[in-house]
Amino acid sequence: MKQYIVLFLSILLFSCSSDSDELIKEVSIKINFTQNWDGASFEKSDLSNTELTNKLGTKLTIDKLRYLVSKITLTDAADKATIFEGYKLIDLSDEESLVFNPSLKITEGNYSLAITFGFNNDDNIDGEYADLNTASWNVPMMLGGGYHFMQLDGKYKDDVPNENPYNFHVIRAYNTTTSIPEDTSFIVNLGSVNIKSDANIEVKMNIAEWFKNPNDWDLNEKNTNLMIDFDAQKEMSANGKSGVFSLGTISQ
């Protein structure tokens, strides 16, 4: 009789274990970074071609757009955070760079998605990342070292109208008078995602938002040499926090 009881319990435990294994499902995610100008898609083919108008009415084109995100994080209902390895340098001229495809898997469920724009101070270590060094992503030591957060380059038309260059480069703000840097990276909380299977998640950048809200950006006054402008860097960071990034479609 004891043998039958032991056999029954073994079968029951195996059955429960199998059911638990079936209930716990691991899935993969991909994050697709897309760009737009106030809702109108902006892609590689638009570089140096498509004329845009910012909030102040200035006409401009974009020749280069590169930006870095790090600490891509999914946090579940129990406040357990999954931080995906590494960082991602997005280059609009390189379509392969627009997709972040981590090897780490997660269990299905409801999550909050967040990203860090740029590197925070702990990660912004001068010369630390070989691929970023190769990509000429470094910031000169005279400006505190470390790495860029974004390079947005192009041309704008003044009131004449003449065409002039602009270099909207975002870095850690550096006070050249005191030689003290200020961490101007920021975390973007993109909202909730319900992951039921392998998922493609879109993260959208509205490029137009960099030139407005809360600071209307006058390219006639602030166009080049912005990396050495401590106040300009803080204004860029403030604009970036105010709606540049948003959650797009989720397909699974």
Query: pLDDT for 54-94, tens place per residue?
Result: 999 999 999 999 999 999 999 999 999 999 989 999 999 99
Tokens (6 digits) for 27:
């899935």
From CA 91, how far away is CA 68, in angstroms rounded?
A: 9
Contact 162, 221 (CB under 8 A): no
- β-partners of residue 156 are 60, 164
Q: What is the pLDDT of residues 123-175, one digit of tens each?
A: 999 999 999 999 999 999 999 999 999 999 999 999 999 999 999 999 999 99
CB 200 within 8 Å of CB 252: yes
Helix, strand or coil for residue 213?
coil
Q: Taking the domains of the chain in order of start, what are their residue ranges? A: 27-251
Name which of 75, 56, 36, 181 is nearest 118 in CA terms. 181
pTM (two decimals): 0.90
Q: Cα separations (Å) of 33 from 7, 20, 181, 187?
A: 54, 35, 29, 16
